[in-house]
Amino acid sequence: MKKILITGAGGGVGQHLRRELAGKYDIRISDIAPVRKNPGESFMKADVASMKDMLRITKGVDAFVHLGGYSVEGPWEDILDANIVGCYNAYEAARRNGVKRFLFATSNHAVGFYRRDEVIDHKVYIKPDSRYGVSKVFGEAMGSLYSDKYGMEVFCMRIGNVGTEPIDKRRLAIWISPRDLAQLVSIGIDSPKVRFEIVYGVSNNKRSWYDNRNAKRLGYKPQDNSERFAKAVLAREQAGDPRAEQFQGGAFVKAEQIENPTPVVQRHARSSK
């Protein structure tokens, strides 16, 4: 059984993923604050901003699923600490400890300034919609460098929004169910074809604005489609900001506050900060 490390394991995405992957891998979880373990998991507390911590937790793992970091728009100092320094530490610690496979949770916000009437693939030029989006682009660039320079196999998932159901109109396009996310992550861990890849972490949504052929090439066959929730979601949708409505990134294109611009409260890695 492969040993995998999941950082940011206590966050919303981490919790869904760990439940879905239980029994499939030997899972080491990590977060900045203590996390309740599922059966079979081991826990190591670590701050992504500390190289010492990252060197300690990346020892002896086959694959590293890096979810840890600041997960929404925020002040530059926090983004710098968690997502720039933290992301560098994650890749570099993995390299020094010989971790072959690195899965990076990037985000739709790396390309959030594309318009909603555009279909984009994994090769489009980056268009981050926030400092947070810029930090995700940094993580993708680190992956490209570590793949080309050191032969690390890197799988960057531009995740939409993970949940048991889509929560608003924008999320009808970018929603990913927990089981589809788990399938994508398993491909990232196990596919022999992975070199440096960018894929979209979305279900098979009818309203998707992504051409996800790179994920399909690697074997991704999403089982869920947000359309079955569309009627209910649209019935409760309120008129949004006209500028935000134009762009794929939604409220992130104009967010200048530190709160999560998503309407639901989600717990994220480093949320204990």
Chain positions contacting ligand 15L, by CB under 6 A: 71-72, 107-109, 161, 171, 260, 262, 266
Q: Whole-number minimum distance, CB 52 to ligand 15L, in Å?
A: 26
Residue 182 CB, nearest approach to ligand 15L (Å): 17
Least spacing, CB of residue 207 vs ligand 15L, in Å: 14
Q: How far is the CB of 162 from ligand 15L (least distance, A)?
A: 8
Cβ proximity to ligand 15L, 38 vs 262, nearer residue: 262
Q: Please say if 132 is a catalytic residue.
A: yes
Do 184 and 199 touch, CB atoms closer than 8 A? yes
Q: Under DSSP, is residue 27 helix (H, G, I), strand (E, B) or coil?
A: strand
Tokens of 134: 């810029």
Q: Kindly report the length of the chain.
A: 273
E-only strand ranges, the chain: 3-7, 26-31, 42-45, 63-66, 101-107, 153-159, 161-162, 175-176, 196-201
Of the listed 25, 132, 210, 220, which one is catalytic? 132
Shortest CB 113 distance to ligand 15L, Å: 13
Q: Helix (H, G, I), strand (E, B), or coil: what is residue 31? A: strand
Q: Both tokens of residue 18?
A: 């760990």
Return the closest-CA partner of residue 63 out of 24, 91, 96, 103.
Answer: 103
Q: Which DSSP string corresponds to 102-120?
A: EEEEEEGGGSTTSBTT--B
243: part of which helix (H) or strand (E)? helix 242-246
Show which residues are catalytic.
Answer: 132
